[in-house]
A and B are shown apart, each in its own frame.
Chain A
Amino acid sequence: MKKWGEVALGVVTSIGGFLEVGSIATSTQGGAEFGYRLAWVLLLGTLSLAFLMEMTGRLAAVSKRTYADLLRERFGYRFFLLPLVAVFAVSFLVLASEIGGVSIALQMATGISFPWWAVPVALLGWVLLWRGTFGIVEKGTALLGLVAIVFAVGALKLHPAWPAVGRGLLPWAPSENRARYWYLAVSILGASISPYLYLFYSAGAVEDEWTIEHLGVNRVTAGLGNLFGGVLAVAALIAAALVLAPRGIQVDRYEQIAMVLASPLGRAGFVLFLATLCITCFGSTLEIVLAIAYMLAQGFGWAWSENLKPGKDARFAMSYTVVILLAAVPIAIGMNPLALTNVSMVATAASLPVTVIPLLVLMNDGDILLNHTNGWPSNIALVIIALLSVVLLLAALPLQLLGGG
């Protein structure tokens, strides 16, 4: 019974934690500009993330060490600096975007300009990290994040043509406006397969003291949680395809996105959109700050746990303190949150090889995983994801220049 409770909670937290500033922005941009035609990219991103989370969760449950720990131990400190720097840089950009997402939601609600909200949002996040535990951060924000289900309600209320949605789930290439289409595809993949998601998940498995007994929970959480989360992202794309695309509205600013729910659901949809943007971005803010601090602490061998008092892991606590306050700066000085989000999603996509390719080695290491190494289906999936990550690395910069708008 306890195990089923853990499974349910794990799935719910994955659903609640799936949508955040990047997936909301890129899904609605995709829907507004290309209708359902980018839905297959969301499906690809969701499946990739589910595989990566299952593997890093299995790694943590069997070895009792995080993915970052194992990266350093197996490949050496010099190699570890590469993923450390790459993940730190892109996660910092994504973190600033999430703070921007909360700030813009508060601006839409109050009329007070978003730069004024950046520092208070960062301070509130810091207080929660300083005073709270891992359970509060992970489960509290993710449970509140279930408000994102409003996207599914909005999409259903708009009565999409399901055969057309189904066709959107098949890979497709446009004959015109190709640079923009592939740019959005890369952004969507960057938003779906952020390294911080599986690094945080792996550290969370260690924080929650997972063992081999949890491998079933891990599989269901990674699979079902991400699948349902992906459905919400597809719902956001559908809503944008039905509200914005027919009118020729492109998403140039976050403010335009709220109308995708105000149209089908009226004032309630508008209010719930603001709540969704605010809560999901705030939840992601906390997760990303922790993911960065975990990576630094695990990389440099410091004491770390969100469940310890800050005095017991001072360098870990100092890391998240400095990072969250610095990440508020770009928004506080008025940087456009949507532009920042788009750049950070493309940068995230480009950074994937350094965390995905080493997983191929670790997941087949019998010394670490005993008899829980990858079978051939998982290895095929991981090779495909690794190849995809290399394509994203090569395509990201040209597409940012050509299709970034």
Chain B
Amino acid sequence: MRAVLISIARAGASLALALTAVACGSPPELDKQLETLSSWTATMQLAREEHGEGAITTTYATQLRDGAQSALEETQKTIGPAAHSKVDSSYAAAALDSLRTAIRQLNAETGS
């Protein structure tokens, strides 16, 4: 019981801290965009596996691909200004390339 109460108190304190501390800075823009690209790349890979096993329809896989394609196009426009160094730019280029490859592979799997 005591442990639960301590956990609740900690959670409450952390929420208050989050509200004040996080307000002090803007979110890491490049990190967020790299996360989005990586998430869609993984989505494409999983969709390819599941389509190959017959678990999902081609209609649905195509919609996932469209989602990834629009995420790719949106990120292509905004990731440049968010990359502040050569290292950032190379990460961004690699992430974009991975997603392009994953989309191509899903297209090959679904025959579209």
Contact = CB atoms under 8 A, between A and B. Distances in A.
Contacts of B59: 108-111
Nearest to B38: A248
Nearest to A32: B39
Contacts of A210: none
B42 to A, nearest CB: 4
A107 B63 contact: yes
B55 A173 contact: no
Interface in A217-260: 243, 247-250, 252-253, 255-256, 258-259
A366 interface: no
B54 interface: yes
A258 B15 contact: no
A255 B63 CA distance: 7
A243 B50 CA distance: 12
Interface string A160-177: 000000000011111000
A263 B55 contact: yes
A109 B3 CA distance: 47
B7 A172 contact: yes
A182 interface: yes
Secondary structure class of chain A's binding surface, majority of residues:
helix
A253 B22 CA distance: 25
B53 A173 contact: no
Interface string B53-87: 11111011011100100010000000000000000
A252 B55 contact: no
A109 B71 CA distance: 22
A402 interface: yes
Given A173-B10, A263-B55, A256 B67 contact: yes
12 contacts: A170-B4, A174-B14, A179-B18, A253-B67, A256-B64, A258-B56, A259-B43, A262-B55, A267-B56, A270-B55, A391-B15, A398-B23
Interface of A: 107-111, 170-174, 178-179, 181-182, 243, 247-250, 252-253, 255-256, 258-259, 262-263, 266-267, 269-270, 391, 395, 398-399, 402-403, 405
Given A172-B11, A173-B15, A258-B56, 12 more contacts: A110-B59, A178-B21, A181-B18, A248-B38, A250-B39, A252-B36, A252-B40, A259-B46, A267-B55, A270-B55, A270-B57, A398-B19
